Structure 1
Amino acid sequence: MSNSMKTAFFMTLLTVLFMFVGGLIGGRGGMMFAFIFAVGMNFFSYWFSDKIVLKMYKAVEVDETEAPGIHRIVRGLTAKGGIPMPKVYVIHNPAPNAFATGRNPENAAVAVTTGIVDLLSDDELEGVLAHELAHIYGRDILIGTIAATFAGAIMMIANTAKWAMIFGGSRNSDGENSNPVAAIAAMIIAPIAAMMIQMAISRSREYIADARGAKLCGKPKALANALRKISGGVAAAPMDDAQPATAHMFIMNPFSGRQAMNLFSTHPPVEERIARLEAMQG
């Protein structure tokens, strides 16, 4: 399935999910409101979701004079891979991590934290940036960014259902008595659905991006070492201000290992990722 078809599929799936939850909370009127809201979200997330995510993490665009080392690495990799040069952003955060975003390779951005720049060697940082460029090359960054925006909106619906149950009136938009069981169901279903969406699009993407990134930079061992260091760095200093809705976008889950159990993590086990990269080196 092409990424264009995947994007359309996820947009449709999320619209249906919105309508279902809206119907549970507000009846037919709630379903109609959810449909209108989802259509608006589809349009908005396609054009602006990347900017939302970058702003969420206070990412600052840097030019070649401000971050010559990062630009040198990215420029070399894009020239080697025949990829358009993305915009480069830095996030002032000690937690080591990175992500790519944008709706297509011509409108893409890579963002790295100051923590990852301080932690990694040049070869290891090149491996990480090659991984992120592989996401751009694979044209899967739009899906990830849209999923992040929608996952955040789904969580908002769950919170709305909770407060509606606590403070809301006893009637929905159809003039019927509200069903507290439905509100509770929405509170449970919405976060689980958001998590399942993230897991569905993230785990396989990371293996593919690892392999493509390792081939792009020609240093699978360096990327493996980078993942090992990032894993230790995240465990020691998780990104406290990270949003669960965007966790799947990062090269490593930004939360501590305790919060990201393998079974429910948005990323595959780091040990398996490292083993596959070391096998490529061999």
Structure 2
Amino acid sequence: MNGLKTTMLLAALTALFMVVGFAVGGQAGAMIALVIAAGMNLFTYWNADKIVLSMHGARQVDAASAPEFYGLVADLARNAGLPMPKVYIVDNPNPNAFATGRNPENAAVAATTGLLGMLSREEVAAVMAHELGHVRNRDTLVMTMVATIAGAISMIANFGLFFGNGRGGHPAAGILAVVVAPFAAMIVQMAISRTREYGADRAGAEICGNPRALASALAKISGAARRIPNPAVERNPAAAQLYIVPTSVSDIFSTHPATEKRIAALEAMQPPVRRASAAVPSALDPLGRGGRR
């Protein structure tokens, strides 16, 4: 099912790319956009995770450089029955986390220093369990490809805005493409992201064994994530749909359900019998050196 959704998504985003290309350069522009889109789809399938991680300036950590954080993720991955993902830390005060990769065997999870410094270890475990829920549910391929391809659509639309419509392009169509294409890509994001967050919340609660900890984490970071600037999202708004909590202040264009609804659903859950060994109430140092309080 996820394979079909991925194919449909790529077809939709390719069509959007061609529409913008036609508006900017007529039939020649549409053909160039098709060739570019085909190459981009292939390249993105194999490299989208690297693009996303590079976009965020993420640095990979291991058991030596960040023993506590890396060990926490390892415990959760075992609970989830998943291969050990690559683990990254993003030097960013915006408290957030995301998962990426085309499948569980090639997955990566990342957390910002803002998140690691704000939450207790139990809450960090719950957040990373949510991200591993996306990996287990095989959401990451679609999410990662949307972040990269939708960003490219916005980029070419902006190119058309600043450099004109080119030979063979209709001025009105060019303006329409520039205005509509980014919002059309955003609609695709909303369609694939909102229900997936509920699924990842349920999976995360099962993996960490503590739905209340995830609810508490969401409550703590939701306001700060909206308030504190996030350079990666400012450069590419499509990246926002990767995060556990959205950074947009607009509910209309949010890629996630309302945080209050997610919290209510988690608080209504009964804790699973199995609890994660990683869920220990202490704070994580953003550099992974140990507790601070």
TM-score, L = length of structure 1: 0.92
Give, in whole Å, the separation in 2 of the partners of 1:236 and 1:179: 40
Shift in CA distance, 272/189, structure 1 to aligned 2, threshold 3 Å: same
Do 2:58 and 2:89's aligned partners in 1 also have CA atoms closer than 8 Å? yes
Paired positions, count? 269
Residue 269 (structure 2) pairs with residue 270 (structure 1): no
* Aligned with 1:207 (options 193, 198, 215): 198
More displaced 10-residue stretch of structure 1: 139-148 or 62-71:
62-71
Kindly provide the amino acid, as one letter, of the partner of residue 108 in structure 2.
A
Are 1:250 and 2:243 an aligned pair? yes
Tell me the equivalent position of 1:164: 163
Q: What is the aligned partner in structure 1 of residue 97 from structure 2?
A: 98
The one-letter code sitting in structure 2 at the alignment partner of 1:101 is T
Cα pair 1:221 1:281 within 8 Å, conserved:
no
Query: 1:47-58 maps to which residues of 2 (within 5 A)?
Result: 47-58=46-57
Corresponding position of 2:228: 237
Q: Distance in 1 between matches of 2:150 and 2:226?
A: 24
C-alpha displacement at 1:75, in angstroms? 1.1
Q: Which residue of 2 aligns with 1:175?
A: none
Gapped runs of 5+ residues in structure 1? 173-177
RCO greater where, 1 or 2, for CA within 8 Å and sep 6 or more? 2
Deviations 1:232-272 (A, max 9, x none): 3224423244231110001011x3xxx42222211111000
- Post-superposition, which runs of at least 4 consecutive aligned residues in structure 1 deviate over 2 A? 240-243
**Structure-2 separation of matches of 1:230 and 1:238:** 13
CA distance in 2, matches of 1:21, 1:232: 35
Are 2:26 and 1:27 equivalent residues in the alignment?
yes
In structure 2, what is the Cα distance between the partners aligned to 1:237 and 1:21? 33
By how many angstroms is 1:5 displaced? 1.1
CA distance in 2, matches of 1:81, 1:214: 11
- Tell me the CA shift for residue 66 of structure 1: 1.4
Percent of pairs identical after alignment? Answer: 52
Is 1:180 the counterpart of 2:171? The answer is: yes
3-state SS of 1:264 partner: coil
- In the other structure, the counterpart of 2:141 is 142
What is the rounded CA distance, in whole Å, between the counterparts of 2:192 and 2:81 in structure 1? 25
Secondary structure of the structure 2 residue equivalent to 1:266: coil
